[in-house]
């Protein structure tokens, strides 16, 4: 008996990597490139494919073992089935003498996928009417051990798809019907719905040479007898495939940068980034042009200010890259407003305008001290957060040139009156275009206050590297239940926008509740 051994290949700089999954069993026939075992280092997960054909004789490792380059993994013996398969194929080819029709609808069935039964359909990679080539992935199947693609055994056009995501399939179940046409030119004429891709298809056919008989009977399709034929040519571990599905990425569109075109996590992330940039560019190209406007009537042109353009770019990047969550609430500020107006009269002689904003900034600071994650920033490529020990709160200010955000520094060390004084000074500087860069840097949290302008709620966009922003709408008079009856109260609508990567919904709701309690008892809480 001819015995062959399979050793752990060169896996780069990794040493003593863990065996986390064994993908074959003793007695199983494998081909070259059949995945055998999954290894995991502290940085990546990778499959080790077979570099030989044969039948698994012994498995020399166990889950939990640590292996390095040169460690023996398996032993193989020559498979008698290989010889039998060759003979059977020759006999079949010799026996078949059927006149092929120019075109026909052929069922595509689930091939032999080993010992797997009732595997899940987790992705459908084509659509009806789509033209496919031989080996084009059609569907993705997932068992409890592996994820695999089923490729098309022939070229043609998808007539019908007979499975849905979530279906369970087994060997010989029909996945789809494919319309195979021996005359490609005729097929192109019969497929006007895909005329936008004809040039690409024709180029592919030209490069492939003269395929004078692409159509064949179902009996003539070579049987798929191993996992080699149903896994991707670019390998990816089950964890990477799961990561791609969570992001909505069709892994067949991703180019692998690992050994033997293995797809890594970085490849998935780079693909997503590229798509986002492409989508942004596409949006720009869809902006209306002057000629289109002229068709509908008169119009006037006005240039955006430098501040408006810069703000727009930053907000677009924030909205695109940060998963925003919005927590809305209403706060009874009747007592606060009564106190503020009384205090404002006393400060009028000092030329200090005591606005609600000063109280909000102080209350926000107190809430950040109670919930430190609201005073943080993502660092280390999003793997860690920096918890700040200082408290600087910015406030959005409207100017002739657009919104700017001056920052009040060290709000934890200042009272409401001092904060009010600095808010007035910074707002005046902003409106007079005298703000310095240093006066707009270092913010930990932003308050966007609409003041007496209209509206009930709005959803402000986070200003990175901050992780939250508070939107404050105008106070409204509303009936609230108190002391056994409805009485008119002054209610402040607020919206807290926060980065869901750092702050969850429970924390967001708790923050707004605590913030509301502070404003309702402002004299004892922050004065």
* φ/ψ (deg, to 5) at 213: -150, 70
Q: What is the DSSP string of 127-166?
A: -TT-EE-TT-EEEEEE-SS-EEEEEPSS-EEEEEE---TT
Residue 212 has pLDDT above 90, yes or no: no
pLDDT tens, position by position, 449-508: 987 777 889 999 999 999 999 999 999 999 998 888 999 999 999 999 999 999 999 999
Phi, psi of 37 (to 5 degrees): -150, 150
Region 230-256: mean pLDDT is 70
- CA pair distance 289, 276, nearest whole angstrom: 23
Measured CA to CA, the distance from residue 370 to residue 374 in angstroms comes to: 9
Exposure of 341 in the CB half-sphere (CA atoms within 13 A): 5
Instruction: Write down the residue that tokens 């869901």 correspond to.
Output: 500
Which segment, 63-77, 92-106, 218-232, 259-273, is predicted with the most confidence on average? 63-77
**Residue position matching structure tokens 């509303």:** 478
319-525 shares the fold of 3-80: no
Which option is the CATH number for 319-525: 3.30.559.10, 3.30.930.10, 3.90.1640.30, 3.30.70.3400?
A: 3.30.559.10
What is the enclosing helix (H) or strand (E) of 36? strand 35-40
Q: pLDDT at residue 384 above 80?
A: yes
Write down the pLDDT at residue 206. 43
d(CA 368, CA 445): 9
- Give me the CATH code for the 99-231 domain, please: 2.40.50.100
- Residue 211's pLDDT is 35
| Strand bridging mode 156-161 / 131-132 | antiparallel
Q: What would the CATH number be for the domain defined by 235-301? A: 4.10.320.10
User: Residue 19 pLDDT more than 70?
Assistant: yes
Per-residue tokens: 78: 């020559």
Q: Establish whether 280 is a catalytic residue.
A: no
Q: What pTM was estimated for this model as a whole?
A: 0.49
One of 280, 316, 324, 500 is an active-site residue; which one? 500
Other Cβ atoms closer than 10 A to 4: 15
Could you give the CA distance from residue 82 to residue 225 in angstroms, rounded to a whole number?
A: 10
| Distance in angstroms (rounded) separating the CA atoms of residues 214 and 181 | 7
The more confidently predicted of residues 46 and 63 is 63
- The CATH topology of domain 3-80 is OB fold (Dihydrolipoamide Acetyltransferase, E2P) (2.40.50)
Of the CA atoms within 13 Å of residue 423, those in its CB half-sphere come to: 29
Structure tokens at 59: 């498995």
Domain regions of the chain by residue span? 3-80, 99-231, 235-301, 319-525
pLDDT tens, residue by residue, 134-187: 878 888 887 765 667 788 888 888 888 888 888 888 888 887 878 765 444 333
Please compute the mean of the pLDDT values over residues 406-432 and round it to a whole number: 94
- 88-to-53, 229, 383 alpha-carbon distances in Å: 19, 19, 56
Q: How confident is the model at residue 311 (pLDDT cuts 50, 70, 90)?
A: confident
* Lowest-confidence pick of 22-36, 432-446, 469-483, 489-503: 22-36
pLDDT > 90: percent of the chain = 28
Name the band, by pLDDT with cuts 50, 70 and 90, for residue 103.
low
The model's confidence at residue 44, banded by pLDDT at 50, 70 and 90, is low
């Amino acid at each position: 008996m001819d015995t062959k051994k399979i050793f752990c290949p060169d896996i780069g700089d990794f040493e003593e990597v863990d065996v986390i999954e064994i993908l074959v069993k003793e007695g199983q026939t494998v081909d070259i490139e059949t995945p055998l075992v999954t290894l995991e280092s502290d940085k990546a997960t990778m499959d080790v494919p077979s570099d030989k054909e044969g039948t698994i004789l012994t498995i020399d490792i166990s889950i939990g073992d640590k292996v390095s380059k040169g460690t023996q993994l398996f032993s193989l013996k020559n498979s008698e089935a290989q010889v039998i398969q060759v003979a059977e194929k020759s006999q079949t080819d010799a026996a078949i003498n059927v006149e092929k029709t120019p075109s026909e609808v052929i069922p595509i069935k689930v091939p032999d996928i080993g010992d797997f039964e009732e595997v899940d359909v987790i992705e459908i990679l084509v659509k009806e009417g789509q033209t496919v080539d031989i080996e084009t992935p059609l569907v993705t199947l997932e068992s409890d051990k592996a994820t695999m693609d089923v490729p098309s055994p022939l070229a043609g056009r998808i007539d019908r798809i007979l499975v849905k995501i979530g279906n369970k399939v087994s060997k010989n179940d029909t996945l789809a019907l494919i319309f195979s046409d021996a005359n490609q030119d005729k097929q192109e004429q019969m497929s006007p719905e895909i005329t936008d891709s004809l040039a690409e298809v024709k180029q592919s056919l030209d490069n492939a040479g003269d395929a004078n008989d692409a159509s064949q009977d179902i009996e003539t399709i070579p049987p798929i007898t191993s996992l080699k034929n149903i896994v991707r040519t670019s390998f990816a571990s089950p964890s990477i495939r799961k990561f791609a599905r969570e992001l909505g990425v069709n892994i067949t569109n991703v180019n692998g940068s690992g050994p033997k075109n293995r797809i890594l996590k970085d490849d998935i992330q780079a693909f997503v980034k590229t798509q986002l940039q492409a989508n942004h560019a596409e949006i720009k190209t869809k902006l209306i042009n002057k000629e289109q406007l002229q068709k509908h009537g008169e119009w006037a042109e006005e240039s955006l200010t430098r501040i408006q353009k810069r703000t727009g770019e930053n907000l677009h990047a924030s909205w695109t890259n940060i998963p925003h969550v919005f927590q809305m609430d209403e706060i009874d500020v009747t007592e606060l407003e009564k106190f503020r107006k009384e205090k404002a009269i006393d400060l009028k002689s000092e030329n200090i305008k005591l606005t609600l904003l000063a109280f909000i900034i102080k209350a926000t600071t107190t809430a950040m001290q109670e919930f430190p994650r609201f005073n943080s920033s993502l660092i280390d490529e999003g793997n860690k957060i920096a918890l700040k020990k200082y408290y600087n709160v910015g406030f959005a200010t409207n100017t002739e040139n657009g919104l700017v955000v001056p920052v009040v520094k060290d709000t934890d060390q200042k009272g409401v009156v001092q904060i009010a004084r600095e808010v007035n000074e910074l707002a005046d500087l902003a409106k007079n275009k005298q703000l310095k860069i240093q006066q707009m840097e270092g913010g930990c949290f932003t308050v966007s206050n609409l003041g007496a302008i209209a509206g009930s709620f709005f959803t402000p966009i986070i200003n990175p590297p901050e992780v939250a922003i508070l939107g404050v709408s105008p106070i409204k008079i509303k009936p609230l239940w108190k002391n056994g009856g409805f009485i008119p109260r002054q209610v402040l609508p607020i919206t807290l926008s926060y980065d869901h990567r750092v702050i969850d919904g429970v924390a967001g709701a708790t923050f707004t509740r605590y913030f509301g309690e502070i404003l309702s008892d402002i004299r004892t809480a922050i004065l």
